[in-house]
Amino acid sequence: MRMKVDPRDALKEADAVLKKSPDSMEAKILREQARMESTEGKERAEATEALEKLARQAKNKIGRQALGAAHFANGNTKEAQTQLEQAVADLSDEAPNPFAYRSYTALAEILLAAGDLPGARKQGEAAYKVNPGYFPGSGVLARVVVRQGDAERALELLQPMFGELKDAVPPAMQLVYAEAIATKKGATASDRAAATEVLKKVKDQVPQPELSRVAAAIDPKLPKELGIPEPTAPDAPKPNEPKRPKRR
């Protein structure tokens, strides 16, 4: 996966560009995005207001993309989704978004986290179509399709990433790979054993709920063997919440 730029470094870079080109709209947008992501309280609110103003002024959709990305980085997924949807709406030569693949990728992440697999796949496929070489985009799409039972597609998406990054593939993507090789059509005992070894390797580097889910997908007995909790059903009640009645 590509390394995420530290917002403080992005802020320094934007300030340097603005010293040479004070009227650069892209540098102004980058600066306020970096401020949003690297500050809190009053300063973040000021940066948000400034970026919203720049987004309205910009002829392209870069401002909306930056605003959505900043909200997403700050955990405000509701507002992030609103801005990112605007960033890819009605694209044209007069209103382009050169970073549309990033907008689609973030939307896919948001929808996946919300449990909307069809919606996440639609956005992930859009990101992949625009830029198949963007590993965060192909990565989130692989996460979606393997959850939908399309392990072969997931492996196809992961192949370039594993080929380029080799031992530097993020643990989250190794987990997706493990699920894919263990659940693909014709998976063998050897495939499941290899997947289990991957889980042992990344056990302490990935979210426990996802680890448990993948372990159970490989073998219902595996969570216990690995010493991790059983996976929780998506519609299971939270602590102190009454059980949902079964649908008839």
Tens digits of per-residue pLDDT, 182-235? 999 999 999 999 999 999 999 999 999 999 999 999 999 999 999 999 998 654
Distances (CA, A) of 208 to 211, 215, 237, 244: 5, 10, 18, 24
- What is the pLDDT, as a whole number, of residue 17? 87
Give residue limits of the domains in the chain. Answer: 18-83
- What is the pLDDT, as a whole number, of residue 14? 85
| Residues whose CB is less than 8 angstroms from the CB of residue 30 and which lie 6 or more positions away in sequence, other chains included | 10, 13, 14, 17, 66
Give the integer Cα–Cα distance in Å for 52 and 172: 33
Q: What is the pTM of this model?
A: 0.88
- For residues 74 and 2, the model is more confident at 74
